[in-house]
Structure 1
Amino acid sequence: MRLTNFLSLFALVSATAVQAEFSQYLSEIPECGIQCILQILPTSVCGLTNETCICENEDVAARTQSCLVQNCTVLESFQVANITALGCGREHPDRSRDIIYTTVLGAFAVLCVIMRMISRWEEGGFNPDDYFMAFAGLCMIPLLTTGDLSAKYAFGQNIWDIPTNHIVLGLQFFYWGEICYFTVLGACKMSILMFYLRIFPSQAFRNWCFSLLGVVTMAMVVFQLMTLFQCWPISYNWHGWKGEMQGKCLNIQAFNYASSAVNIILDFAILILPLPWLIRLKVGLKRKLSIIFMFSIGIFIFIVSVLRINFVNKFKASVNPTWDYTDAIIWSGVEVHTAVIVPCLPAIRSLLSRRCPKIFGIDTQADTNKSYERSRGRDIPRSKSFKMVSITTTCAPGKVSDEESEDGQRFSNSKVCFNLGDQMKGTVHTGITGGRLATFRSNEHLVPEKHDM
């Protein structure tokens, strides 16, 4: 950031301050600041003794700022700004707790990941989407740590109210937190897409998923690299504000607008990707709406991402970044924590329904058995070798040939029901109405006639 930007702090403090005993602080002002005051005040309308005028007159602040630019360093100008604030009786605002409070939501997000892992373990094992979410949960730990420490040392306060070494520490933690932020968001998107790949057998759908997965991966890597090298040398990120070293940075505001826009577009694409396939399900309206709702809970991630963009303009070359970035940091935290929580909700509900079926829903065993047709008046026993995704497509008139299946069962003039199964584990469950029941492997997909699912 340029020296002139930092020195405008004096103008801000002086123009908005209130009356107080100012003269007693003159001895603490750096020599360059004293020279500017003695040069400006005698020729101003305030004089040397009118404390109210000195604190509130904008012309005095502007002329003093110009003098400080020519005669003081950044650190000296901070000292002038801080003493001026004290002399004018201005309070030191502190919103660091607002940032720390978001870590509570982050801790809940980590808990959600843990509950998801417990649920999957009880159901028989983990899938690729669970591994990606576990990775996101692990990355949440350094993200929460850096967020908490950056607020403890610097962010949420005016930069001239903070000790120099604390400013450096706060900016360092903020820098590493930015990298964790993009990592967690990318891992969450990959987890959702891997979940799609696990349950949708349509090759057309899977092609779209793989394409989107490639875009998400590329975007995550690019944003991480741009964050890592947003300033050069890298130490310029936390030492450059002093004006004592040479360095250069990207246009921070443009970068944040671009990354936010790409993030929103990807969230929207992931949200609507399964809808065309879900709409074609021939099930009752209530059932169809419940299925679509389950796949649409990601809209909360999309909404938070859109709300956050209102504060992205704060991420820029600011004269007071530790204060100006506060709202943007809070909303970034809410966004990334929501991105972790939402994909875990279905697994959490499954876990809670097993623990407290009377409170959180019907028994999953009964729900699974009801999704099958009865064969000869008996329930189909539940296999322990796979997990069932409780989504059932419509049955289509079966034009299944009278060929023997691998288990020796024959089908004729039957109606074929297709249940979305676990593609990654090689099981797709099918039911036969008016005929006999069979279970097919994933390479023997039965699909409703004229419906590509």
Structure 2
Amino acid sequence: MLRLLQIRLEWWTLILCFASIAVPAQSNTTNLTVALQLLQSMPECGRTCLLDAISISPCEATDIECSCHNDNITTQTEACVLDSCTIKESLTTKNTTYTLCGRPVRDGRGPGQRNVITGLTFSTLAYVIRIASKLSWQDGRVKSTLWWDDAMITFVMGLVFPISFSAVLLNREGLSTDVWTVPFDNITRILKIYYWDEDLYLSALPAVKISLLLTYLRIFGHDRKFRHLVYIVIALNVGYWISFVLISVFQCLPIECAWLRWSGEYPCRCNHINAQGWAAAALNVVLDIMTLSLPLPSLYRMQLNKRKKFWVILMFCVGFFVTVVSILRLQVLIQFGDSHNLTWDYTAVGYWSTIELHVSVVCACMPAIRNLLRRFIPTIMGQSTAKTGDRGASTGRSGRASTGGGKFGNSVTIRARGSDEIDIITLQDYTPGSRDTDQSHGEPEVRVDASGRVYAVE
């Protein structure tokens, strides 16, 4: 009984002290009311922890400035609150004490939204240019060289839009602010949006790599060994896609615990989110490196002029930048699963994830962007170059072929069928008796279609 009376007396002393120093004397009455309302909103467990910490500190009960800036009081109060209060009571207590002490309110929503909008704009523009480069008007009708890689990047864009829009929605709900300032219902909505956002993200990452791998097939598809390597990496990406989407969907049982468990009010069984995030991010980095490294030996064997070399280097620099972003995202995942301030700590994860996805789309579209630009400024973008070793072979524009005497005799220089795809790369040389580089197939037949394009068939 005496202890209870002591706590109540200290509480009223605390109220008067906060009110007396918070504002000038002329508005004392108004701010006394505000202080009373704030302290009355503080849970009983939080008030007890705060008063106990002050009572054993060197600060006087009337010296609020000392109490607010004393690290021991802060540490002891937080430890007591975490041990004595529920999660919701802990958040309410922290919000009240921060408000009474006049602590600054952090808000990082502005830059985050601008970055998302900028990234979405560039990735959408790159996609539109890519599709436009595959369309042309000939003989009074639209002709296209669209293929499966374009279908896959279209699927990716179907994921990029909801991911980007949800990032803006998350900011409006309170992401990028301290969790103790966010209404409880908003925290639940943030985690629910984040849950579905994560599933979309884990689908988009392998899909954009598969699109790039399919583009490789259009360029280097004449090489059977290279085709097999591409198929293997595609299979690995599909395996990653299926595995981690399923792991993410069933990260908690029941599933709704993924966005309800934060309060500690529901019985849940969940994966270790940190381990799950690290595994997904680390394997994604490995797949990035494998995907970007596949065409390097073929590119090394080709003779490219300076302009093409610049474009190839630029494209791969963007690709490796994506890998660097993936590694940076891996670093911020360290505190992802064990965060006590999820609406603030999740900001960096979401930020790097969105950048990674937007830049990946731009990278996958860069070859087609160059192809479209070449139509309008060919002198800047450069022309095709002969392949090293076939001295007699020469190159031509789309739909053209030229012959020459290489060391195998007469050969026909042919652009990949169905696309003027990457004029970064030299035209493929199909020689009688060798469709594949290992010459395992029979002699190909050279045909010319209605538009004058030359291609080889068995």
Aligned to 2:111: 98
Answer yes or no: is 1:216 the counterpart of 2:237: yes
- Counterpart CA distance in 1 for 2:87 and 2:332 is 27
Which of 59, 63, 74 matches 1:50?
63
Which of 138, 141, 161 matches 1:141?
161
- Determine if contact 2:46/2:90 at 8 Å carries over to the other structure: yes
- Determine if contact 1:240/1:247 at 8 Å carries over to the other structure: yes
TM-score by length of 2: 0.75
Aligned to 2:334: 313
Aligned to 2:408: 398
- Counterpart CA distance in 2 for 1:317 and 1:395 is 67
- Counterpart CA distance in 2 for 1:254 and 1:272 is 27
- Counterpart CA distance in 1 for 2:126 and 2:312 is 22
Identity of aligned residues (%): 29
Q: CA deviation at 1:94?
A: 0.4
Q: CA deviation at 1:357?
A: 2.4
TM-score by length of 1: 0.76
Letter in 2 for 1:166: N
The C-alpha deviation readout for 1:132-159, integer Å capped at 9, x for no partner, is: 0010011111111211111111210000
Q: CA deviation at 1:341?
A: 0.8
- Counterpart CA distance in 2 for 1:195 and 1:358 is 22
Answer yes or no: is 1:109 the counterpart of 2:119: no
Aligned to 1:158: 178
The C-alpha deviation readout for 1:23-77, integer Å capped at 9, x for no partner, is: 8343332222223334443343224212122212233233333432454221111
The C-alpha deviation readout for 1:82-118, integer Å capped at 9, x for no partner, is: 0100111101100122221222212321222122112
Aligned to 1:75: 88
Answer yes or no: is 1:37 the counterpart of 2:50: yes
Query: Is 172-181 or 50-59 further displaced after alignment?
Result: 50-59
Q: Cα 1:359–1:285, aligned 2, differ >3 Å: closer, same or farther? A: closer
- Counterpart CA distance in 2 for 1:171 and 1:393 is 62
Name the SS of the counterpart of 1:44 in structure 2.
coil
- Counterpart CA distance in 2 for 1:361 and 1:80 is 63
- Counterpart CA distance in 2 for 1:97 and 1:255 is 30
Aligned to 1:421: 416
Q: CA deviation at 1:333?
A: 1.1
Q: Cα 1:342–1:291, aligned 2, differ >3 Å: closer, same or farther? A: closer
Q: Cα 1:397–1:291, aligned 2, differ >3 Å: closer, same or farther? A: farther
Answer yes or no: is 1:349 the counterpart of 2:370: yes
- Determine if contact 2:315/2:366 at 8 Å carries over to the other structure: no
> What runs of 5+ residues in structure 1 fail to find an aligned partner?
1-18, 372-378, 400-413, 445-453
Answer yes or no: is 1:261 the counterpart of 2:282: yes
Q: Cα 1:138–1:85, aligned 2, differ >3 Å: closer, same or farther? A: same
Q: Size of the alignment, in residue pairs?
A: 386
- Counterpart CA distance in 2 for 1:395 and 1:87 is 87
- Determine if contact 1:112/1:348 at 8 Å carries over to the other structure: yes
Aligned to 1:175: 195
Name the SS of the counterpart of 1:269 in structure 2.
helix
Answer yes or no: is 1:276 the counterpart of 2:297: yes
Q: CA deviation at 1:20?
A: 6.0
Q: Cα 1:235–1:119, aligned 2, differ >3 Å: closer, same or farther? A: same
Which of 340, 354, 358 matches 1:333?
354
Q: Cα 1:235–1:255, aligned 2, differ >3 Å: closer, same or farther? A: same
The C-alpha deviation readout for 1:160-196, integer Å capped at 9, x for no partner, is: 0111111111111111111111111111100011111
Q: Cα 1:291–1:48, aligned 2, differ >3 Å: closer, same or farther? A: closer
Name the SS of the counterpart of 1:99 in structure 2.
helix
Answer yes or no: is 1:189 the counterpart of 2:209: yes
Query: Is 28-37 or 270-279 further displaced after alignment?
Result: 28-37
Name the SS of the counterpart of 2:416 in structure 1.
strand
- Counterpart CA distance in 2 for 1:250 and 1:125 is 45
- Determine if contact 1:318/1:324 at 8 Å carries over to the other structure: yes
Aligned to 1:238: 259
Query: Is 170-179 or 121-130 further displaced after alignment?
Result: 121-130
- Determine if contact 1:199/1:423 at 8 Å carries over to the other structure: no
> What runs of 5+ residues in structure 2 fail to find an aligned partner?
1-19, 23-30, 137-142, 388-394, 421-426, 432-444, 448-453
Structure 1 vs Structure 2 CA RMSD: 3.4
Query: Is 87-96 or 41-50 further displaced after alignment?
Result: 41-50
Name the SS of the counterpart of 1:32 in structure 2.
helix
Answer yes or no: is 1:207 the counterpart of 2:228: yes
- Determine if contact 1:143/1:180 at 8 Å carries over to the other structure: yes
